Structure 1
């Protein structure tokens, strides 16, 4: 089975898209699902954003599967415009509604905050008001207009399985030598 790279153009007008629990359901693309949020950092909070990133990396050293419920492929965080704006970009396997609900549940279970608390306009009651959390994300979402996948529509679990098979085959071949 040959997997060919693919790209999909995402329409600017989301009015015709199926409506999910929290708004339009953007189509799964060759890069799977994802979103980009760009928001202003609260004055003086850029270091707290960086510190949160360091804390997350340390937490993942302790528990590499901490974020597993989110079915992530990638996360990318960027501070820009002289540390006054923040970009959160995530690529994952589930749709927006499920990802966001899973993220809120994960934060609640782990008893941790979210980096978004350092952003202007983020609701203080986000833990008990998922609709406010989601409204913030939707209001600050910058939808992409094209997405490309070198290995289109392949889930993170499928990639990990393929890597396990590759490892097992390599080990088997090494033992034959």
Structure 2
């Protein structure tokens, strides 16, 4: 399978039913430490798992501070449409973007009517994007795991 060559309505490459999403921001002077502290807060890992489940289309997410903590990258892979993905963040987990990106220059807030334009202004499309199983969504994977678990229980009961 090759990457989708159709021009997307928004930045980011598609591969099968999944898209890549990469953002770059300048941190406010001295705010790199504050960004790191967001990720180190007690309970953040549990909140992250719960927030990912609320979105339901998120395969993975990475946040990276670089250039001596002056720049921040956010990169994810997700199922479906770009606009629906951003709408899901705004509706389901607005606090994650606001809590982190308030430490970057000119961030208007996830509820701002121009947030999508702001995101596009900070988005870079990958030069290459590959997924091992490109037509498998998060929901497909979750279903397969439930089926596997049920099948394994059935085998265990048969012994």
Cα distance per residue 1:32-71 (max 9 Å; x no partner): 023100111111111221122234x825526843333422
Partner of 2:7: 17
Partner of 1:130: 113
Partner of 2:139: 157
Report whether the alignment pairs 1:74 with 2:56: no
After superposition, residues 17-166 of structure 1 pair within 5 angstroms as: 17=7, 19=9, 24=10, 28-30=14-16, 32-55=18-41, 58-59=43-44, 61=46, 64-70=49-55, 71-108=57-94, 113-123=98-108, 126-131=109-114, 133-166=115-148
SS in 2 for 1:42: coil
Hey, what's the Cα distance between the residues in 2 that align with 1:149 and 1:127?
A: 28
Residues 83/112 of structure 1: CA separation in 2 closer, same or farther (3 Å cut): closer
Structure 1: gaps spanning 5 or more residues: 1-5, 11-15
> 4+ runs of 1 displaced by more than 6 Å?
none
Question: Cα RMSD over matched residues?
Answer: 2.7
Residues 27/141 of structure 1: CA separation in 2 closer, same or farther (3 Å cut): closer
Query: TM-score scaled to structure 2, two decimals?
Result: 0.83
Structure 2: gaps spanning 5 or more residues: none
Partner of 1:3: none
Residues 112/137 of structure 1: CA separation in 2 closer, same or farther (3 Å cut): closer
Query: TM-score scaled to structure 1, two decimals?
Result: 0.75
